[in-house]
Amino acid sequence: MVDTRKVGVLGGGQLGRMLIEAANRLNIQVNVLDVDKSPAKQISSHDGHISGSFKDAAAVKKLAESSDVVTVEIEHVDVGMLEEVSSQVAVEPSWKTLKIIKDKYAQKGYLESHGVQVAESIDLEGKGVEGLKEVGSKFGYPYMLKSKTEAYDGRGNFVVKSEGDIEAAQKALGDRPLYAERWADFRMELAVMVVKTKDGVLTFPTVETIHEDSICKLTYAPPRNVSPEITARAQELAKKAIGAFEGKGVFGVEMFLLKDDTLLINEIAPRPHNSGHYTIEACPLSQYDAHLRAILDLPIPESGLRLREPAIMLNILGGQTTDSHVQIAKKALESPNASIHLYGKGDARPGRKMGHLTVTAPTLAAAEKEIQPLIDVVDQQKG
């Protein structure tokens, strides 16, 4: 066996599922803590899974007891229990890292204190409507209102376009711990998957991401119309940011490329990330291979993180019907270079991540041509 150690993972969604796809190829056992029949458990048959919530301290403890290394596929977990179990089992990345990153405001402060540029932020906890107005006079409009915690896929963001939006913003997010960010008038969004190993920090190539309504829609590898100088600078910035955190594993680093070519960090994910799905087909090692190897101290030849061929990833989000994702997958079956990933989540709900597909081709232009009819279907579904 390549490795007899058992990996425990908090969360059994699509990221856990794709991590298991990588682990299965190496005969490595992954114990998942999540509800039964979650996407990750569906493809992993053994008696080491734990049934329950990754927010439940007792369940986290049980997972730790049956695993040699514990990791996460989501950062919204019980960090206190991870701290407690870290004296008995390796927790990667460190619970300290998870604790900082799971609070987006704390994360930004931490990055700033390590000399990493982030969007300017103002704390709004306990400040109410008056606080939101003050941000408007300081930052101007629009600005981005964000929940510090439990935020993903834009669920936790509200664009405040004018003072007239404040009431609606307060209604949408008012019961959550809030902060505000200065609007980043970006030319483009970039992302870099970073691998932190026992020996240092490695990166996958820089990619371009397109978000719609605060949720990732497309990833272009390499980015379109970006100089090699900028893609290299993005990789350096991502390395610097992740170098500031403790622990091993892959990290997703989302950035804004401003119109004057300045790079700002948007946010960091302490785990495999949507913007790294393209690596499954486009790189010799995927982000999931890299995560598994990093937390287990297995070799990661740096050239295995290179882009073999240009690639475009398209997210398959739930549309207006329960089978909208199936319609896209069926259309993609006709596309010779499209690799389709459905996550086993059952019926679609609007905006939910149901799957993704990646088209690779000898040139980005060829990939763009092949994927366009699939983007058209996605856009039609959105209406």
Q: Is residue 351 at the binding interface for ligand ATP, with CB under 6 A as the rule?
A: no
Count of residues that bind ligand ATP according to CB under 6 A = 18
Shortest distance, position 184 Cβ to ligand ATP, whole Å = 4
**Binding partner at 42 among ligand ATP, Mg ion, none, C-beta below 5 to 8 Å by kind:** none
Q: Cα 311 vs. chain centroid, distance in angstroms?
A: 18
Task: Out of 134, 150, 267, 297, name the contact with ligand ATP by CB under 6 A.
Answer: 267
**Phi and psi dihedrals of 35, rounded to 5?**
-70, 155
Name which position in 57, 149, 152, 323 contacts ligand ATP (CB under 6 A): 152
Asked if 305 and 250 count as a contact pair (C-beta separation under 8 A), the reply is no
Q: Total binding residues for Mg ion by CB under 5 A?
A: 2
CA angle 262–264–265, rounded 5-degree value: 155
DSSP string, 127-187: THHHHHHHHHHHH-SSEEEEESSS-BTTBTEEEE-SGGGHHHHHHHHTTS-EEEEE---EE
Residue range at the interface with Mg ion (CB under 5 A); choices 45-53, 261-269, 317-325, 333-341: 261-269
Exposure string over 170-201, b if 16+ CB within 10 A, otherwise e: beebeeebbbbbbbbebebbbbbbbbbbeeeb
Nearer of residues 123 and 267 to Mg ion, judged by Cβ: 267
Residue 3 vs 278, nearer CB to ligand ATP? 278
Q: What is the distance in angstroms between the CA of the first residue and the CA of the last residue of the chain?
A: 50
How near is the Cβ of 273 to ligand ATP at its closest, in Å?
A: 7
The answer to whether residue 123 forms part of the interface with ligand ATP (CB under 6 A) is no
Span 204-243, contacts to ligand ATP by CB under 6 A: 211, 214
Interface residues toward Mg ion, by CB under 5 A: 254, 267
Interface residues toward ligand ATP, by CB under 6 A: 119, 144, 146, 151-154, 156-157, 181, 183-184, 189, 211, 214, 254, 266-267
